[in-house]
Amino acid sequence: MLEFSDVELFYDHVYALKGVSINLEKGETVALIGANGAGKSSILRAITGLAAIRSGSIRFENEDITGRPASEIVARGIAMVPEGRRVFPYMSVKDNLLMGAFTRTDKLAIRQTLDGILERFPRLKERYGQAAGTLSGGEQQMMVIGRALMAGPRLLLLDEPSLGMAPKLVQDIARSIVAINRDENVSVLLVEQNSRMALSISHRAYALSTGTVAIEGMSKELLADERVKKLYLGGEV
């Protein structure tokens, strides 16, 4: 479904990605783990057209999307939940959600998608007319995931969805990601510093270090890998 092949990306003259290759099959949840600055978010920015790569290629469903504008990539079926939520604080929950459907014209299907999101996240239904900026952090995270789903994606990119969340909310977000992948047939590429959570809910994973893939494999196996325990799981609950 996604082929990210030998990609190099620079910010000014500093390497962000050094010949990185990853892939994702339809129906999978794949995790990208690693420390700050390892290159995880740069992969998402490259996929979505928010950062121009210097070399390599990016293919989605057998079509080359390298260098395509972000709006076209969303229309092709890829949506991203950015780090830090980035809500429209003075707009209602309803209007924030509908912003996610800006590339769609199928009004009936948009309504059905919206109804499904409100069913999945009942707190959003309770806060439907409320300004997004007055929501709790957990409620805002639910809303931005819902906003991304409003685009009707086949591939959902999640950038640090557990960042700044209390442990109980992290569990709720994790369960939501599993349910979206399972129930809605949406493939997921998950960037997380909470490596234990990411490995627990994904099928496969790549561990990044300073712009390169250091370790890759099945998530269950990586959870038991001594190198991963030492480098990526130390100190995590």
Same domain, 164 and 236: yes
Q: For residues 144-149, give the mean pLDDT.
A: 95
Same domain, 234 and 161: yes
Q: Rounded to 5 degrees, what angle do the CA atoms 38, 44, 45 make?
A: 95
Same domain, 203 and 89: no
Pick from 152, 167, 195: which residue ends a domain?
152
Same domain, 161 and 237: yes
pLDDT at 233: 78
Confidence band, pLDDT 50/70/90 cuts, at residue 236: very low
Q: For residues 146-162, give the mean pLDDT.
A: 94
For residue 108, the enclosing domain spans: 84-152
| The two three-digit tokens of residue 15, written as one number | 């390497």
Same domain, 236 and 160: yes
pLDDT at 168: 84
At 208-235, the pLDDT tens digits run: 999 999 999 999 999 998 888 888 876 4
Give the CATH number, domain containing residue 46: 3.40.50.300
Q: How far is CA 186 from CA 66, 77, 220, in A?
A: 22, 10, 21
- Look up tokens 């990526």; give the residue: 232
Same domain, 46 and 88: no
Same domain, 148 and 163: no
Phi/psi at 46 (nearest 5 deg)? -70, -45
Phi/psi at 36 (nearest 5 deg)? -55, 135
